[in-house]
A and B are shown apart, each in its own frame.
Chain A
Amino acid sequence: MFEREESELAESKKIMKDLSISDDRSDQAILRGIQQAKAEKKKKRVQLPIKTFTAACILGLSFITSVNVSEPVAYYMSNVPGMGKIVDFVRYDKGLLAAVENNYIQKVDSSVNNKGIEFTLNSIIHDEKSLIIFYEYQSDEEDVVITPESFQLLNEKGEVLPYHIVGEYWNDNPDSLLEIRVPLKEGDNLPNELILSTQLSKDKKLLDGVWEIPFTLDKGKIVGKKVYNVDKTLEIEGQQLTIKDVTMYPSQTAVHVYYNSQNSKKIFGINDLHLIDEKGETWNTSVIETTQINENETIIYLQSNYFTNPKELYLRFNSIRALDKEELTVEVDPIKKKILKAPKDGKLTDVEIEQGEMSIKLDTNPNQFKSAIFTHAIDADGNVIGKHEPYGISYSYVDDYVLYSVPFPSEATDLGPVKLELLDYPASISAEANVKIK
């Protein structure tokens, strides 16, 4: 009955077969799709300043990796009406879970619906260190990707307050809460009446209008920080670092560290820093940011044990990331696409320049290290190249490398060799450290 149609369809199918697509090209398309999706997840963070970016990564990571949860408590709490969602979300951070358990959290539960997207402010945790906001959004439409564009904190008159907001903008579980934080400095005093305001985009297109939710801070809830002066200096292969003090807030613990400026190596960070009490219970890094005060002074944040109050408490770690100070500059010849100078472990390879970006490969396991090692190249005159353009970090767990890209317009190639200052690097020195806090 449909012989002609069927035979023509068969013919057309044959031609289609001849339109051969190599496995290579289709595999590339898949990998690009994955990378694009990962970049979309991190889109907002990449444009943040370096400090917050690295930290935001750690946050994402810690939610996946740390599963040392006080399960019975979480189980109990998640059955308290209205608490299930927040408990599910904070159960990977012992400090936040304890804050919820101790009723330190302030429930808001207020929603606004605009253009078929419901935006909800679930609850907040407010202490001297930060205002933590747990929110979510739900769209009437399926299969669309909604992402917040820019969060702002307003006062009750609708005026923008000068705080920057860091945190998560996207979670692959649409039913999960998301967390953003407003870091507070000593003396910052938020008004009691606030408005959280954001714009949203759908499938990468900015939507008209704003989603705003007013809420009230209950300042009667705030409890004071606990400060432990430690002032203990450790020496690791000739490199000195000092644990100055440890401050506990309900939301997090701040560890204040100094690196000796006379060190021959630059210390980028401490690996596996954690608190441990006399019973062996630990509190790990679960931080949203690390505050680099200056080159030799930094604050590292850990999960809070404010509400636990152990008898004894120790700070421990087992290695630091450090590199000879002479090795901190990477030099690249953009014409020959050659690395002229780099750390002698030879992990930096393969310079590529295309589509306004220079990319350099770092041989490392992305499961263990994928922090930003540099963000922008500098020309011979010290000018930052493509200052306002975002940088990128891409990796796939299939490979043993991370690809870093910095903005690099084609005309920059004429500038001659360029420099990149290392901000972090996966070179570790083992060291067993154990410092008594109380």
Chain B
Amino acid sequence: MEDIRFYGWDTIRYYWFVIQNHFSGWSWQISVAYTIVFCCSVALILLGLVFAFRVQRRNRRNKHQALIADKYTETIKQILLSDSMPASSMIELLKKCDGKDEDEIKSEAKSFIPILVSIRTSLTELAYFPNLQILATVCGVREYCEKSLLEGHDVFNTIQMMAMLQLVVSEGRLANYVNHRDYDTRLMARLCFIVCGINDPYKFLLEDIEHNSSSMYTMMLHYTFAWMKAQDKKMPNFINLANNLENEDAASFMINEVGFFGTDEEKAEIPLFLTSKSYKCREAAIKSIHLVNSEETYDKLVEMYPDQIEETKREIIKALGVPKNNKYNEFFVAAYEDSPSKETKEAALRCLYDNNKEGRYQFVLLQQKTTDPEQSTLMQKIDSIGALKMIYELQ
């Protein structure tokens, strides 16, 4: 019998007809079932292979990473925590870790990133590391980041890492990403732009915060502002931003930030927001006053107290509790007696209790005076929690 040879498209058609012929006597349901069996079998084999490959790759990568971390972590930490250090000293210290020369150290840049990230994560109380920028250059991390941005490889992770370490790269490297179509990439690139931008670092800030005032974004901004402040870099004008924002949450965030990073002039303007139409802005202003602990504005808070909603009233009470001043004891007593809200009453009593000796005395007087069992329990609760706090402090 002569062989028939098929080429190209005919080969596929031949096998299609073979399969069709094989199932011709069966219902279409059986054909569908056979197809599923075939697909599942192929999927299972593929899964097994990919799984084995990934297990091997992960083990290899983890082993290498652990080795590098073992050799370099302590030295890197020492460099990061020391006062300003020249690049040459850093290179000498790094060479001692594994005996590698400068180029070999740079070739391990990718493995240094997790080490820098974990040191940064473990020391979040520090706003910045003075030697980080030079160290990143010495280890090749900056070069690695710039290359990733240039080649468009693993961009989101790179930008995220840069934002976290506040790594300064050339502004031009971010140009492709500050207007990227992917929202998260764009947002992160613009955060890095604040750190790296030279001409106008806050170019995109108003637009971004107007459209995204999520807690995560405000946290990221706060983190970046803390670094800018610590580096003595130019801060945005928070008050101007707050006045120009339509988004209430964003405006209140900016007012809050004045309390943390605002200039003296900006801090002096906080009371202007106490009469804002937006209660969120009013609350933010009270919180800022609370942070700034500005004596001059406290009287204004007392003045505006009666016209506020309960949540704002509680914020005012908390703010007035900060200076621990006898002057406000009467106010706390009145707030306790007049408020219909149990939460406001509790806030007022708590401030009175914590205020000072005079406040505590007033609290005891109120406790003796009350005949309402509910109020009495509330006072006992504050008393007990106060006592517990003292025990904690003693221990």
> Do the two shown chains form a genuine complex with each other?
no
Instruction: Give me the interface of B with A, judged by CB distance under 8 Å.
Output: none
Instruction: Give me the interface of A with B, judged by CB distance under 8 Å.
Output: none
